[in-house]
Amino acid sequence: MRDVYIIGTGIHPWMGFSEKVFADFAAVAVDGALKDANVEWKKIQAIMAGIFIYGGNAGHLSGQYLESIFGETGIPVVNVYNACATGSASLRMAYNSVAAGETDTALAFGSDVSPKGFLTAKSDNAVQDRDVIRWKMGGLPNPIYWALECRKRMEKYGTTEEDLALVKVLMSEYGAKNPHARFKKTYTLEEVLNSAYVCDPLRLYEICPVSTGAAAVIITADKDLISKADKPVKINATTMGSSMYGDPTIRISALSCPSVPEAPMLSESYSASRQAYEKSGFGPEDIDVLELPDNSSWHYLVYLETCGFCKDGEADKMLRDGQTKIGAKLAVNPSGGFSSHGEALSAQALWQVIECANQLRGRCGDRQVENPKVAMAQTYGLMGNSGTTIMSL
Amino acid sequence: MENMANKVARIPNLVDWSTGEVRLMSAKCNSCGTYFFPKEHYQHRPGCSREGVEDILLPCKGKLASYTIQYYPCPAPFKTDKKITPYGIGLVEFEDEKIQVTGIITETDLKSLKIGMQMETTTLEMFTNEEKQQVVTWAFRAVK
């Protein structure tokens, strides 16, 4: 396998609902990536596209729609869906194509327009799709799943409501410094603790909404392009994981879970991160910047443990002691996280990778981590989807 | 015993009251020992032959493994005639079956919820359909 580098990245800043279509946002992100990489469109030899699930036929063939905007060249275009880890899947396919020598330069992108209102069931066959059951009979919007796990954590490890609020305080401080973020207001502990419960113990400011956004990454093994790029970022590993039998986590859309654990919690992310550590040769102790999926304050805490940055039950102390701040040994979510962005389903994993790349390239302005060498983007999607990307200069 | 004659589950094959007790409809794999809910949600142990899956009713009582209180209405297609927010959602553990199942908490003071408390399966009326039947979902309530 060849060494593969990120040479160009582009983002359409995260925002709320828009009347514009996903391809408009995708084009902005891809244009940005091409300019950053300083490569012509004709150099792109494969497109790995995250699909836009609410976009009908066009959304499910997002790669073809994107290609036609920039000019069709006959290259392989593959469209992929892995829930909120879709971006990880597109990047991994692009990486594997380039690393294996099938192509020299490839594009991964995802673009999502927030649906109006809440996410809900997308079919009506309860036998085929148990998501129908959870919406029709279960009364189970996504944050309830997080709240059920959060309550277990509070009982088991003594996580407090202040800990959950502190995550938002920290994320809002960083999000305010990120031009790509949707939410730029900073919050005090009191303001977060005074916000309404959505599903007790999680409050309005402790869960992330759905957003609109797009992200694109151009990777290459072409030595000429690498030499011309501004601080190319090496991909040391980009992996995906699925769940393991006996994982006790109650997964979004499921109606049951095992009561006797035979695998780690969030085993899809345990698996993806351990694969990445093995392939890259780096471990948690080597990571300077970590972007983790803080869909809620609970996720922020549990992901530090799932990915091995501390032992089970120790994440709260890491947070309270400031060990996850910019300036500490490990900077967690200097972007402001999902808390400051919201989820743009097929784009968010790529956006996390871009934040890591921008940190390594020293482009992050007021939220810049000092001289980072290794960064890790960790995402996760419902029903057992996860991706990890480890990068270095 | 409540009159169940005019009740219908919104989606079939999830909750049963034919025995006089309200019980969740699960399936057990006799090869790997795993219980499933819903019963078509197969989650076999890797390497299992997947032979001998049989329908089974879960016990009517379990213990509360976790809970939350939802303050906002669940969006459509969830539907109830009466306002139910704020409502509790419980994760109830059936110990012998090694499974935890989610369900709306009903007929219970939400302030009294505590992990470990005994819960029993019941039904919750969601709405009345065109045939004048009471459409229900499964639910849990504290054992008195």
Q: Domain of residue B73: give its range.
A: 7-15+59-142
**Using 50, 70 and 90 to split pLDDT, how confident is the model at B3?**
low
Check if B47 contacts A (Cβ < 8 Å): no
In this complex, the residue of B69, B98, B126 whose CB is nearest that of residue A197 is B69
- Summarised one tens digit per residue, pLDDT across range A280-303 is 999 999 999 999 999 999 999 999
Check if A255 contacts B (Cβ < 8 Å): yes
**Using 50, 70 and 90 to split pLDDT, how confident is the model at A3?**
very high
What pLDDT does residue B1 have?
A: 46
What pLDDT does residue A122 have?
A: 76
**Using 50, 70 and 90 to split pLDDT, how confident is the model at A127?**
confident
Residue B107 lies in a domain: yes
Q: Which residues of A fall within a CB distance of 8 Å from B77?
A: 120-121, 132, 135-136
Residue B41 lies in a domain: no
How many CB pairs (< 8 A) connect A and B? 132
If one counts the domains in chain B, the total is 1
- Summarised one tens digit per residue, pLDDT across range A31-54 is 999 999 999 999 999 999 999 999
Mean pLDDT of A149-154: 98
Residue B44 lies in a domain: no
Q: For a pLDDT cut of 70, what percent of chain B falls above it? A: 97
Q: Which residues of B fall within a CB distance of 8 Å from A201?
A: 68
Q: Which residues of B fall within a CB distance of 8 Å from A147?
A: 68, 89
Mean pLDDT of A28-33: 98
What is the domain partition of chain A in residue ranges? 5-116+212-233, 139-207+235-392
The interface predicted TM-score of the complex, written ipTM, equals 0.96
CA A51 to chain B, closest CA, distance in angstroms equals: 24
Residue B28 lies in a domain: no
Angle at A183 between CA A302 and CA A384, to 5 degrees: 35
What pLDDT does residue A115 have?
A: 81
Burial annotation A192-231 (CB, 10 A radius, 16+ → b, else e): bbeeebbbbbbbebbbbbbbbbbbbbbbbbbeebeeebee
Residue with tokens 């996720």: A299
- Summarised one tens digit per residue, pLDDT across range B33-84 is 999 999 999 999 999 999 999 999 999 999 999 999 999 999 999 999 999 9
- Summarised one tens digit per residue, pLDDT across range A365-385 is 999 999 999 999 999 999 999
Residue B31 lies in a domain: no
Check if A383 contacts B (Cβ < 8 Å): no
Interface of B with A in 111-140 (CB under 8 A): 115, 126, 137-138
Which candidate in A122, A128, A135, A255 is best for mutational testing of the B interface (most B CBs within 10 A)? A255
Between B5 and A67, the more confident residue is A67
- Summarised one tens digit per residue, pLDDT across range A189-221 is 999 999 999 999 999 999 999 999 999 999 999
What burial class does residue A75 get, using C-beta atoms within 10 Å of its C-beta: 0-12 exposed, 13-18 middle, 19+ buried?
middle
What pLDDT does residue A57 have?
A: 95
Give the CATH fold of the A139-207+235-392 domain. Peroxisomal Thiolase; Chain A, domain 1 (3.40.47)
Q: Which residues of A fall within a CB distance of 8 Å from B102?
A: 134, 138, 140, 144, 148, 250, 255-256
- The residue of chain A nearest to residue B98, with distances taken between CA atoms, is A259
Cβ–Cβ gap A256/B36 under 8 Å: yes
CA separation for the pair A246, B113 (Å, rounded): 27
Residue B69 lies in a domain: yes
Phi, psi of A353, deg, nearest 5: -60, -40
Residue B29 lies in a domain: no
Check if A200 contacts B (Cβ < 8 Å): yes
CA A40 to chain centre: 27
CA separation for the pair A244, B29 (Å, rounded): 18
Cβ–Cβ gap A136/B87 under 8 Å: no
Check if B103 contacts A (Cβ < 8 Å): yes
- Summarised one tens digit per residue, pLDDT across range A78-118 is 999 999 999 999 999 999 999 999 999 999 999 999 887 66
- Whose CA is closest to A266, among A237, A287, A235, A292? A292
Q: Which residues of A fall within a CB distance of 8 Å from B72?
A: 141, 198
- Summarised one tens digit per residue, pLDDT across range A300-341 is 999 999 999 999 999 999 999 999 999 999 999 999 999 999
Burial annotation A304-316 (CB, 10 A radius, 16+ → b, else e): bbbbebbeeeebb
CA B20 to chain A, closest CA, distance in angstroms equals: 21
Check if B100 contacts A (Cβ < 8 Å): yes
CA A3 to chain B, closest CA, distance in angstroms equals: 34
Reported residue count of chain B is: 144
SS3 (DSSP) at B111: helix
Q: Which residues of A fall within a CB distance of 8 Å from B13?
A: 127
CA B144 to chain A, closest CA, distance in angstroms equals: 23
Cβ–Cβ gap A258/B99 under 8 Å: yes
Check if B98 contacts A (Cβ < 8 Å): yes
Residue B50 lies in a domain: no
- The residue of chain B nearest to residue A149, with distances taken between CA atoms, is B66
Which candidate in A155, A256, A262, A296 is best for mutational testing of the B interface (most B CBs within 10 A)? A256
Q: How far is CA A325 from CA A57, A290, A320, A332, B111, in A?
A: 43, 11, 10, 6, 36
The average confidence (pLDDT) of chain A is 97
Check if B78 contacts A (Cβ < 8 Å): yes
Is CATH 3.40.47.10 the right assignment for the domain spanning A5-116+212-233? Answer: yes
